[in-house]
Amino acid sequence: MGHTVGSASIERQAEPRVERNGVSVYRLDHHNDFWLEDWPQHNAQQRRMQKLKQQWNFEIERQFEKVLDEFRPDILNSHSLVDVTTLVWRAAHRRGIPVVHTLCDYDLMCGNAAMFRNGAPCDHIHLGCRLVNFSKKFTQRYVDAVASVGTDILSIHVSHGLFQHIPEQLRRVIFYSSTVPGGDPVERRRMDRSGRPMTFGYIGRINTEKGVGTMIDAFKMIGPGNWRCLIAGKAMDDSVERFTAQAGDLPIEFIGWATPKNFFEQIDVLICPSYWAEPSPRAIYEAYQMGVPVIGAASGGIPELIGDQEWLFKPGSASQLADRIRGVLGKSRAELPTEAEFGGIIERSSSRHVGENYLRLYDDVLDRKRSGSQAH
């Protein structure tokens, strides 16, 4: 699109700047107490201290200032800052660089970024989360515009006092850009499925908040029959063992990691049973692009993507999910929806559409900055 792009991220160790596919890539040392993926190896007190201290990670701010001074961007677009201090916004603001933040998690409000605690979604912000995110109430004022991957997560942030200073026209919903490399919905439908039971699938992290247990309970209510379920993904704890035991002798198979193309070619219907308010599950975009319909929990941004109430169920309700599954089992494969019925979501998540929406937002932010400068 004729623009110069740079990318900065944290790593276990800093690496020299490189050019990759025309993008200047900066990899900075994280300068936290421990690396994010080592989280399970640390106790609750160490995790809380990590989140608390992260707010004032001045070393990351200094490193990022050097990146800004070298690259000299016209605009900064930050994404998930789960382990990055929001002081990077201050660094940009001090240099007169407008900031756009993309909302794709709850890290600005919640210590675990999911608003999920003790096996259930949170209906308020707990004191501990307020403490570890205290400074963000102030640094968020450096943000000039917000792009959210879903309407629900944007509304939640605004209702809790974040980004209220931003004009409504600069608080926009822009879906994820999504593709399935090598995937072809027409070729998928041509595959011979004769003699194969109706196949349901789940792909993603395997844990309680993603609703895997709810899904297994729903299949237990249905009992054995002409169906099977493939569960793709990994867990950071013993969830696979627990859920395998929960499934018992049912035709539920944990297949480990799988590419989206290979996974969606094997299933007829995706189940997205998230119990937490998942902002905008990528698996739904990918399923639609492969012509696979989705049964989803009415939580977070899932209803915005699915729309049809007949394909939604109450989060955590195994009985409602079982009803939706029975509805599918009462149909033939030919009666299931195809990608033609998901065209709106497929178009809004295309790289072209998403890119154009971001460029329009950048232009509007820069225009507002210019008009503000002229007014002074």
CA–CA gap between residue 344 and residue 353 (Å, rounded): 11
pLDDT cut 90: percent of the chain above it:
88
Comparing 14-23, 45-54, 224-233, the range with the smallest average pLDDT is 45-54
List pLDDT tens digits, range 136-189: 999 999 999 999 999 999 999 999 999 999 999 999 999 999 999 999 999 999
pLDDT band of 40, cuts 50, 70, 90: confident
Residue 258 has pLDDT above 80, yes or no: yes
Phi, psi (deg, nearest 5) at residue 346: -60, -45
Phi, psi (deg, nearest 5) at residue 295: -95, 125
Q: Are strands 120-121 and 269-272 parallel, antiparallel or unpaired?
A: unpaired
Closest C-alpha to 101, from 130, 59, 136, 134: 136
What pTM did the predictor assign? Answer: 0.93
Q: At what angle do helices 212-222 and 239-247 cross, to 10 degrees?
A: 10
Count of helices and strands (H, E) across the chain: 15, 15
Phi, psi (deg, nearest 5) at residue 300: 55, -130
Q: Which residue has the higher pLDDT, 73 or 373?
A: 73
Phi, psi (deg, nearest 5) at residue 177: -85, 130
User: Fold for domain 5-177+350-375?
Assistant: Rossmann fold (3.40.50)
C-beta separation of 7 from 76 below 8 A? no
Same fold flag, 5-177+350-375 and 185-346: yes
Q: Domain residue spans in the chain?
A: 5-177+350-375, 185-346
pLDDT band of 376, cuts 50, 70, 90: very low
Neighbours of 80 (CB within 10 A): 13
**Residue at 240: amino acid letter:** V
Alpha-carbon distances, residue 51 vs 86, 116, 144, 147, 354 (angstroms): 12, 16, 25, 24, 32
CA–CA gap between residue 78 and residue 75 (Å, rounded): 10
Return the pLDDT at 373.
60
Return the pLDDT at 306.
98
DSSP assignment of 322-372 = HHHHHHHHTS-GGGS--GGGGHHHHHHTSHHHHHHHHHHHHHHHHHHHHHH
CA–CA gap between residue 286 and residue 297 (Å, rounded): 17
Q: At what angle do helices 318-329 and 212-222 cross, to 10 degrees?
A: 60
CA–CA gap between residue 159 and residue 152 (Å, rounded): 11
Mean per-residue pLDDT for 39-61? 90
Closest C-alpha to 350, from 175, 146, 124, 120: 175
Mean per-residue pLDDT for 252-272? 97
Residue 7 has pLDDT above 60, yes or no: yes
Residue 1 has pLDDT above 60, yes or no: no
Residue 67 has pLDDT above 80, yes or no: yes
C-beta separation of 327 from 46 below 8 A? no
Return the pLDDT at 48.
86
Residues in the chain: 376
Tokens of residue 126, six digits: 């707990």
Return the pLDDT at 44.
86
- Collapsing DSSP states into helix, strand and coil, what is residue 232? strand
Alpha-carbon distances, residue 282 vs 26, 30, 180, 294 (angstroms): 26, 26, 11, 12
Kindly state which CATH superfamily the domain 185-346 is placed in: Glycogen Phosphorylase B; (3.40.50.2000)
